[in-house]
Amino acid sequence: MSFFQILDGFAATWGSNKPLQALTAVFIAAFSIFFASKIARGFRKPPFPLPPGPRGLPIIGYLPFLGTDLHVALANLASSYGPVFKLRLGTKLCVVVSSPAAVKEIVRDKDAIFANRDASVGALIATYGGHDIAFADYDPEWRKMRKLFVQEMLSKASIDACYDKRREGVRMGIREVYGKTGEAVNISQILLVTLVDSVVRTLWGGSILEDHKDSSVKGPELKQMLNEFITLLGCPNISDFFPALAWLDLQGVARRMRKVCAQIDSILDKAINERTTAGVNGSRRRDMLQYLLDLNDSEDPASSLSMNQVKALLKDIVIGGTDTTATITEWALSKLLKHPETLEQVYQELNQVVGLDSMVEESHLPQLHYLNAVLKETHRLHPALPLLVPRRPSQTTDVCGYTIPQGTKILINVWAIHRDAQLWDMPSEFRPERFLDPAAKWDYAGNDFRYLPFGSGRRVCAGLPLAERMQMYALASFLHCFKWEVPKGEEIELSETFGIVLKKAVPLVAVPTPRLSDLKLYA
């Protein structure tokens, strides 16, 4: 039956009144269009609502209300809006997740959908446009780099083979502290320099401090340079919330990032150029830098890397890997100084396992169960990356009954999960014993969604096996070699300062006294 036959039917019923017929036709047409559009909208409408969330201001959204401690502000909002909530920040839609169930959906059930990163303007400059592992999208180039890094460069055999380099770096740090016996030492700085040095020795056999003696790369400057880099990676930037304004670089983040990257690039270029020249002279070393440079020369697309990829990966390792490790080691030492009875237990374990007549070796680490629990508890209370590295879904999907539109910035609030009273007994207390329970198999791999200091899923920390060793080795060595005391009249400050890496607001300063029985060991 056609539309006009239906109209005829109406006319027959209501008489042959032409104006009425026309009016009816208009009415039916309007009605049909209304329903057709309703049905069409019905098909397009997402099956689930968007997550709840606070209302912000027009245009800028919730940006002015977040304050400086973003991880804490987001934890507070989760207590009002639930474990999956949304925020509009400028033109950007953000979804914040703070429960193990929601995390599981993102990093396990829908890991492939959520595997892209949401790189900031600063991160894209630092990585030559996302050519590293940490900020690259989930694409074949990322898969190739991650596979080479995890399976070749950080295989157990490769890590074991570089132990002497890590040891040289840590021993250099110990000598430096020994030279300051009885003085107030900025542990934050010494730890960072020690770890950067260990990693640089591992990568290309050099020493960041010794190789750059004549330049501005000294301990304090190195720390300042890396701090600037890490700050710019994670700082709130108008260009990220209003991409149309990015060309104005209103806060100067892009300009500052280009400046600090030029300094870092000059260090990397020096190491690369020296190696290339050494190659011409026929004296190439076999180390991680050489492995990467060989991949840069390779013709095989399955393994070849561009020079930007090589340098971006070196930055991930030299800066990303060391700043996190130094930060967590500093937090652990601070917690121990605040809890002398726990520190005493650590010393007893070290005396028993290592002995006061020896330095710590990596072979001792598996026996240091209590120290391992101290580190795990430190990661719980002060996760180095409190919101992990933001992810971005490649398609519209759903989590815990809410629609998550394609391209949303996903923040996983690990800091909030680690302090959730429904998941942890006395969550704000420092109690390493909770990680000694043999029934609970806590590890760093992100298999238990209540505990994610290294993330989880296919974007879990790629440097985990090296990080586990370096953090334990540095912490055990600095503790075993010295008795640490808070400078007279001072107290240990434990407040946090938010950034992509969660640091101590006040760097740790303490006074070392040698513990070992033979002072020759410090030489």
Among 51, 83, 219, 455, binds ligand HEM (CB under 6 A): 455
CA trace torsion 298, 301, 304, 307 (10° rounding): 110
Judge whether 254 and 239 are in contact, CB under 8 Å.
yes
**417, 386 contact by CB (below 8 A):** no
Q: Which is nearer to ligand HEM, 217 or 385 (CB)?
A: 385
Q: Which span sits near ligand HEM by CB under 6 A: 74-82, 90-98, 448-456, 488-496?
A: 448-456
As beta bridge partners, residue 496 has 504
- Considering only 467, 475, 476, 500, the residue that binds ligand HEM (CB under 6 A) is 467
> Shortest Cβ distance from residue 412 to ligand HEM (Å)?
7
What is the nearest approach in angstroms of ligand HEM to the Cβ of residue 103? 10
CA angle, corner 233, sides to 227 and 234, nearest 5? 95
Q: Of 466, 476, 510, 511, which lies in the binding site for ligand HEM, with binding defined by CB under 6 A?
A: 466
**What single-letter DSSP state applies at residue 57?**
B
The answer to whether the CB of 163 falls within 8 A of the CB of 482 is: no
Helix H or strand E segment including 314: helix 307-315
Does residue 328 contact residue 374 with C-beta atoms inside 8 Å? no
Query: Which of 379, 452, 399 is closest to 82 using CA atoms?
Result: 399
CB of 175 to ligand HEM, least distance (A): 23
Answer for which of 84, 332, 384, 417 binds ligand HEM (CB under 6 A) is: 384
Q: Which of 61, 205, 234, 453 binds ligand HEM (CB under 6 A)?
A: 453
CA–CA distance, 482 with 516 (Å, rounded to integer): 8
Rounded CA-CA distance 163/362 in Å is 8
Alpha-carbon span 359 to 481, nearest angstrom: 7
* Shortest distance, position 255 Cβ to ligand HEM, whole Å: 26
Which of 268, 360, 460, 508 contacts ligand HEM by CB under 6 A?
Answer: 460
For residue 158, the minimal CB distance to ligand HEM (Å) is 11
> Exposed/middle/buried for 488, CB within 10 Å: 0-12, 13-18, 19+?
exposed
- Inter-axis angle of helices 18-44 and 3-14, to 10 degrees? 140
Residue 162 marked ligand-binding: no
To ligand HEM, the closest distance from the beta carbon of 520 in angstroms equals: 31
Q: Least distance in Å: CB of 230 to ligand HEM?
A: 12
- Taking CB under 6 A as the criterion, the residue among 99, 324, 342, 397 binding ligand HEM is 324
Task: Considering the complex, state which of residue 137 and residue 485 has its C-beta at the smaller distance from ligand HEM.
Answer: 137
- The residue among 396, 359, 389 whose CA lies nearest residue 474 is 359
Q: Is residue 459 involved in binding ligand HEM (CB under 6 A)? A: yes
Q: Locate 8 and state its tokens.
A: 């005829």
**Residue 410 contacts ligand HEM per CB under 6 A:** no
| Strand blocks (E) in 161-270 | 185-186
Q: Are 352 and 480 in contact (CB under 8 A)?
A: no
* Cβ(52)–Cβ(80) below 8 Å: no
Q: Is there binding between residue 328 and ligand HEM (CB under 6 A)? A: yes
Q: Does 134 bind ligand HEM (CB under 6 A)?
A: yes
Residue 361 near residue 311, CB atoms below 8 Å: no
Q: Determine which residue in the list 194, 231, 342, 456 makes contact with ligand HEM, applying CB under 6 A.
A: 456
Residue span binding ligand HEM (CB under 6 A) among the ranges 13-21, 177-185, 319-327, 365-373: 319-327
* Greatest Cα pair distance in the chain: 116
Of 205 and 320, the one with the shorter C-beta distance to ligand HEM is: 320
In the complex, minimum distance from the CB of residue 300 to ligand HEM, in angstroms, rounded to a whole number: 22
Task: State how far the Cα of 254 lies from the Cα of 188, in Å rounded to an integer.
Answer: 27
Answer for which of 461, 475, 508, 511 binds ligand HEM (CB under 6 A) is: 461
Between 360 and 410, whose beta carbon lies closer to ligand HEM? 410
Pick from 268, 385, 404, 511: which binds ligand HEM (CB under 6 A)? 385
Q: Output the smallest distance, CB 379 to ligand HEM, in A.
A: 7
In the complex, least distance from residue 385 CB atom to ligand HEM, rounded to whole angstroms: 4
- Tell me, by CB under 6 A, how many residues bind ligand HEM: 26
Beta bridge pairs of residue 117? 391
Residue 319 touches ligand HEM, criterion: CB under 6 A: no
- What letter does residue 49 receive in the DSSP assignment? P
How many residues make up the chain in this entry?
Answer: 523
Quote the least distance from Cβ 60 to ligand HEM, whole Å.
27
Please name which of 101, 150, 72 lies closest in space to residue 448, comparing C-alpha atoms: 101
For ligand HEM, the binding residues in 194-253 under the rule CB under 6 A are none
Cβ-based nearer residue to ligand HEM, 384 or 404: 384
Spatial neighbors of 440 by CB under 8 A, at least 6 apart, are none
Range 85-104, binding ligand HEM (CB under 6 A): none
Residues near ligand HEM (CB under 6 A) are: 133-134, 146, 316-317, 320-321, 324-325, 328, 384-385, 388-389, 453-456, 459-463, 466-467, 471
User: Which residue ranges are tagged as binding site for heme?
Assistant: 461
